[in-house]
Amino acid sequence: NAGVTQTPKFHILKIGQSMTLQCTQDMNHNYMYWYRQDPGMGLKLIYYSVGAGITDKGEVPNGYNVSRSTTEDFPLRLELAAPSQTSVYFCASSYGPDTQYFGPGTRLTVL
Amino acid sequence: KQEVTQIPAALSVPEGENLVLNCSFTDSAIYNLQWFRQDPGKGLTSLLLIQSSQREQTSGRLNASLDKSSGRSTLYIAASQPGDSATYLCAVRPGGATNKLIFGTGTLLAVQP
């Protein structure tokens, strides 16, 4: 099992541009999550999904969108990127509300 | 609103020492608590998960305890090794809202050889 994979690993975006961060898991987990981690801070939940076709907002959803068309994939879309979205983004998955497994992260810089 | 605090923010110990990392949370109505390890530039690795009905969990040299009534959890690391150097994060899953984790800001541990 590859676990949770994320692409790209690094990216630089210009203000106002859009992009999609990809996340795939091969553990057949029903729950998937997107977090952001700012320097010296804990992780904050952006969006989550409890199954294909079902998504919901977390603590910091503004400026982001998600979709969940399959069990395996949970892409995160950034529209009109702003410098405040410079962060490290982590995708995670779990089977129900138990242990979450994390991807390696995407380090995003908005200039 | 649930808040999670980890003190100290950083800790340096000599190799071989036993140590305790602390995590406190403001609302005792939790579903579970999870301890993670994060290496520099890497993702998070789950170490231990304690359900709200449990008092402790053990894995190798690690032992995590949970005292819901006082809003505290500790992670005990026995016979520390340089390879244990990392940031340790605790996260609480609030009761009722079972789809999110509230993270602390972590303790950066350095084990000196």
Task: Quote the DSSP letter at residue A69.
Answer: S
Contact B105 A99 (CB under 8 A): no
At residue B74, the pLDDT reads 97
**Per-residue pLDDT tens over the stretch A89-103:** 999 999 987 888 999
Beta bridge partners of A65: A77
Contact B46 A44 (CB under 8 A): no
Contact B89 A31 (CB under 8 A): no
Q: List chain B residues with CB under 8 Å of A104.
A: 42-43
Beta bridge partners of B56: B65
Nearest by CB: B103 against A42, A97, A103: A42
Task: Quote the DSSP letter at residue B55.
Answer: S
At residue B72, the pLDDT reads 97
**Per-residue pLDDT tens over the stretch A11-64:** 999 999 999 999 999 999 999 999 999 987 889 999 999 999 999 999 899 999
- Distance, in Å, from the CA atom of B98 to the CA atom of A104, rounded to the nearest integer, reads 24
Whether the CA torsion A90, A96, A98, A101 is positive or negative: it is negative
**Per-residue pLDDT tens over the stretch B10-30:** 999 999 999 999 999 999 999
At residue B97, the pLDDT reads 57
Give counts: helices (H), strands (E), chain A. Answer: 0, 11
**A vs B: CB pairs below 8 A:** 56
Residue ranges in chain B whose pLDDT is less than 70: 97-99
Q: Choosing among B30, B44, B52, B59, which should be mutated to test the A contact, i.e. which has the most A CBs within 10 A?
A: B44
At residue A2, the pLDDT reads 80
Whether B71 contacts B18, CB under 8 Å: no
Q: List chain A residues with CB under 8 Å of B105.
A: 40-42
A10 → chain B, closest CA residue: B41
- Distance, in Å, from the CA atom of A80 to the CA atom of B13, rounded to the nearest integer, reads 45
